[in-house]
Homo-oligomer: A and B are copies of this chain.
Amino acid sequence: MSRKLRMGLVGGSAGSFIGRIHRIAAELDGEAQLVCGAFSSDAARSRAAGEAYHVEPSRAYASYFEMFEQERQLPASERMDFVAIVTPNHVHYEPARLALENGFHVVIDKPMCFSMEQALSLQKIVAQTKNILAVTYTYSGYPMVKEAKALIAAGRIGTLRKIYVEYPQGWLSTAVEGKGQRQAQWRTDPDRSGAGGAIGDIGTHAAHLAEYVSGLRITGINAVLTAVVAGRRLDDDSAIILRFDNGASGVLTATQVAAGEENNLRIRIYGEKGGLDWQQVEPNSLTLRFLNEPAQTLRAGWGYLSPEATEYSRTPAGHPEGYLEAFANIYAAFFRAVRAHASGKDVGAARCDFPDVDAGVRGMAFIDAALRSAQSDQKWTSFL
């Protein structure tokens, strides 16, 4: 299948930040091309978006129903291969289900859907259809995150003891949802976002990162969720003490009211022999500490990195890659899985390392457990 994969979009019309990002990420390595979309449920807006994306007018659809229907009937040499769903959370499940059932692979923004029920349903459909579903837990796509995971798996810092993951943002410090900020509107609206606010929007990123890098599973949650800004119906702030399956403990904080902060996801993990530290705003560095040695700063692009990190780098050291490239790495792994699915050839798990439907289910379960814990007077709520 030496050709570009053909991509469709659900969502992504004018004003959508994440739609453009998915397009860039999917096309970055020259392995895919956006060919169609149901960019908006408003036909005119969808057409306008199609034009902006330089998509053929006939393939700018007015609904995802129409898109799946039409694309399904195109010859295999033209037909969309996969769809990326970039709508608010309440419009994740239905298009994903339909896409899978119509034979398309799916990329979906996190959190995977609106409720735990939907998540489990999608998991079943993926198992039945054997199509591939990826959830864009973007931050696990960074090369130095892969390196951190590889170092831990290789035992470099010993048995893990402590995991600190924090995710401060400041953009919801005031009630911007009341001032026309569209990103804020749906995220603070339980009808579109689901039962979790910050916990669903960014807490789930943090939880995924913690489990992904550590290789551990969260088993206990002691959560305090707060709606700090007056009048807000969903949490905009969370602090959670964690227990992991190997006995390690941790702390997860995710807040959108840290005034002045950008998007400073950071993870620090300590084991018996050392620790590591990674921050998303300077993603090409990974600090590694040991008990009685100088700290080391590992940097993307060097020959001393693991194959896992090297696989997901495009530039030599000192030519920084960023968020879009991390996003593209999720797609790159997804594409290898899609091509393997078509060819029937196994390409190895490491090369297809992306968050799949199980990661999506686990993310929804995390939100669910955090919300249950937050409502409980008991210190600990068990998680799965």
**Residues of A with Cβ closer than 8 Å to B?**
2-4, 17, 20-21, 23-24, 27-31, 34, 51, 53-54, 157-158, 161-162, 164, 166, 168-170, 173-174, 222, 224, 226, 228, 237, 239, 241, 249-251, 253, 255, 257-264, 268, 270-275, 280-284, 288-299, 301-304, 314-325, 376-380
Contacts and interface: CB of A to CB of B under 8 A. Distances in A.
B251 A253 contact: yes
A299 B295 contact: yes
Contacts of A270: 168, 170, 173, 255, 257-261
A262 B318 contact: yes
Contact of A294 (B257, B271, B304): B304
A249 B237 contact: yes
B222 A249 contact: no
B289 A294 contact: no
Given A224-B379, A261-B289, A319-B323, 10 more contacts: A17-B316, A27-B30, A239-B249, A251-B253, A259-B272, A259-B290, A261-B275, A263-B318, A320-B322, A377-B379
B281 A259 contact: no
Contacts of A295: 260, 296-297, 299
A78 to B, nearest CB: 15
Contacts of A20: 314
Given A261-B275, A289-B170, A325-B322, A2 B315 contact: no
Contacts of A157: 259
The 10 closest A-B pairs by CB, nearest first: A260-B289, A263-B318, A262-B318, A320-B322, A294-B296, A319-B323, A322-B322, A262-B317, A295-B297, A294-B298
A260 B317 CA distance: 11
A142 to B, nearest CB: 10
A162 B173 CA distance: 11
A328 to B, nearest CB: 9
B260 A290 contact: yes
B272 A173 contact: yes
Contacts of A261: 270, 275, 289, 318
A164 B253 contact: yes
A298 B157 CA distance: 19
Contact of A315 (B31, B271, B297, B323): B323
A187 B289 CA distance: 24
A320 B162 contact: no
A274 to B, nearest CB: 5
A120 B20 CA distance: 41
Given A224-B249, A226-B249, A162 B304 contact: no
A304 B291 CA distance: 11
B299 A275 contact: no
Contacts of A228: 161-162
Contacts of A297: 294-297
A24 B28 contact: yes
A43 to B, nearest CB: 19
A257 B271 CA distance: 8
Most buried by B among A34, A284, A288, A324: A324
Contacts of A253: 164, 251
A133 to B, nearest CB: 24
Contacts of A323: 315, 319-321
B318 A321 contact: no
